[in-house]
Structure 1
Amino acid sequence: MSATHPIVRPTLAERRKQETRMDIARTAARLFAEHGTAAVTAEQIASESGVALRTFYRYARTKEEAVEPLLATGAQRWLEIVAAGPQRVPTLPELEEAIQTSLTFEGAPEDLETTRGLIHAMDDDPALRTVWHRINLEAERDLLCVLTDLAGPTEDPLQLRLLAAASAGAIRIAVEQWASDNAPATGPGAPADLAVRSLRALAGGIGH
């Protein structure tokens, strides 16, 4: 996700693998949201995804890990927006704008509602919570790499770490709170609104 590294386009075979992995992720997420993780098996996910169980295990070691591509989509979009911006460390208003863009789920209402159901399902499944927290931790690490690439020689590494932690934390808190409140996808209480409010509270003293 470096801002300075060239973009490598995936091959057709790689795109097909990505599509298969996302199809499995959406199926697993839907089943977990509808029935809870305990009632869903890897065999069921594979069957409803239209793949063999052996194929399922090529893409995920456990049924909980199968949802990772869906949950990681927002973080990937957010990192791409930040990396494509001005070639310097973004200001807080610029980060707020990037958050609003990445958390505006136009055209993907089903994925958004499925994500809400997954957040609810995490209450009863430590393994699913582990996947969620790992994705958020990796998003923070990847954001720090992007910010480091964008930083000038006078930038304080500690400030960059704080900015990455505040940004990633704001998004995680916002999505969890939105799911808990059963709030709408847009407007007050939506993920974008809550994330901007959280970032202002967490990063107000960082100085960017």
Structure 2
Amino acid sequence: MEIADEAVRLFAAHGVATTTAEDIASAAGVSTRTLWRYFRSKEECVRPLLAAGIEMVTERLRAHWRGDGSFAHAISSFDDPGTVAAQPIEALRDLVRLSRDEPGLRAVWLEAHFDAEGVFADVIAEGTGRSPHDLAVRVEAGMLNAALRVAVEDWAVQPDQAAGPPLGESLATALYVVAQLFETDSTGDSGGRRLLRLPAHPPSPEQPTSSPRQ
């Protein structure tokens, strides 16, 4: 995480192109060899910062999506100011802003969310008693993932951070939007709650009305 913090600081101050892996390693107090042991590129150095944020979201959902299995109850935890108080907010904001114009950082940002989708599928499966491989679960995980990504991006680019909503509120708002698309009171075949309304089987294609050509 110290390497990630220093990487974002240097990228924001000097630009990604002019910041070298040697600069990041020196600022973090490690050797360049050590840096390359953990990261594939200088842009990858920011990955722990993104992973920490996704882990925070996962832990909050797991902690509050128990008992009644209510997704709405899990979302409500993000309104708590203490939810994101321990996160490196300024570094995250700088990173997301930089990722808009820096392809290398954007790739890391999107890859982190791609990897998170499977984690969110596990969380949804645990909260609803279904398999993480269920198509509906995977679709729900994708919706959840997209909502979180858009919420953070929207929060980061607000011109007046003092007047804008805090990160926790932005996350909660985005998740409430997702909740409107989820169905929390119907039951799937396995007895677990099914959030997304999908048909049990895909519709069969219509049969052709004329005979195929010989």
Q: Equivalent residue for 2:31?
A: 52
SS at match of 1:181: coil
Code of the aligned partner of 1:54: R
Q: Equivalent residue for 2:177?
A: 201
Q: TM-score, normalised by structure 2?
A: 0.75
Are 1:39 and 2:15 matched, yes or no?
Answer: no
- The 1:115–1:144 alpha-carbon spacing in structure 2 relative to 1, beyond 3 Å, is same
144, 160, 171: which one aligns with 1:167: 144
Aligned residue runs from structure 1 range 8-47, under 5 A: 22-47=1-26
1:181 CA displacement: 0.8
Aligned residue runs from structure 1 range 91-170, under 5 A: 91-100=70-79, 104-108=83-87, 111-152=88-129, 157-170=134-147
> Is this contact kept in 1: 2:61–2:75, CA < 8 A?
no
- Structure with the higher helix share, 1 or 2: 1
Structure 1: gaps of 5 or more residues: 1-21
1:87 CA displacement: 4.1
- The 1:103–1:122 alpha-carbon spacing in structure 2 relative to 1, beyond 3 Å, is farther
> Is this contact kept in 2: 1:144–1:160, CA < 8 A?
yes
Task: Find the aligned partners of 1:72 and 1:183 in 2 and give their Cα distance.
Answer: 26
Say what the alpha-carbon RMSD is for the aligned residues: 2.7
1:68 CA displacement: 0.3
Q: Equivalent residue for 1:67?
A: 46
Aligned residue runs from structure 1 range 1-12, under 5 A: none
Structure 2: gaps of 5 or more residues: 185-214
> Is this contact kept in 2: 1:159–1:206, CA < 8 A?
no
Are 1:190 and 2:166 matched, yes or no?
Answer: yes
Task: Find the aligned partners of 2:70 and 2:100 in 1 and give their Cα distance.
Answer: 35
> Is this contact kept in 2: 1:88–1:151, CA < 8 A?
no
Larger relative contact order, structure 1 or 2 (CA cutoff 8 Å, min sep 6):
1
Task: Find the aligned partners of 2:80 and 2:103 in 1 and give their Cα distance.
Answer: 30
Code of the aligned partner of 1:57: W
Query: Aligned pairs, how many?
Result: 184
Task: Find the aligned partners of 2:22 and 2:136 in 1 and give their Cα distance.
Answer: 46
Identity %: 34
1:81 CA displacement: 2.4
1:73 CA displacement: 0.6
Are 1:179 and 2:156 matched, yes or no?
Answer: yes
1:61 CA displacement: 1.0
Task: Find the aligned partners of 1:49 and 1:105 in 2 and give their Cα distance.
Answer: 24
1:94 CA displacement: 2.0
Range 51-60 or range 196-205, more displaced: 196-205
- The 1:89–1:50 alpha-carbon spacing in structure 2 relative to 1, beyond 3 Å, is farther
- The 1:164–1:98 alpha-carbon spacing in structure 2 relative to 1, beyond 3 Å, is farther
> Is this contact kept in 2: 1:74–1:103, CA < 8 A?
no
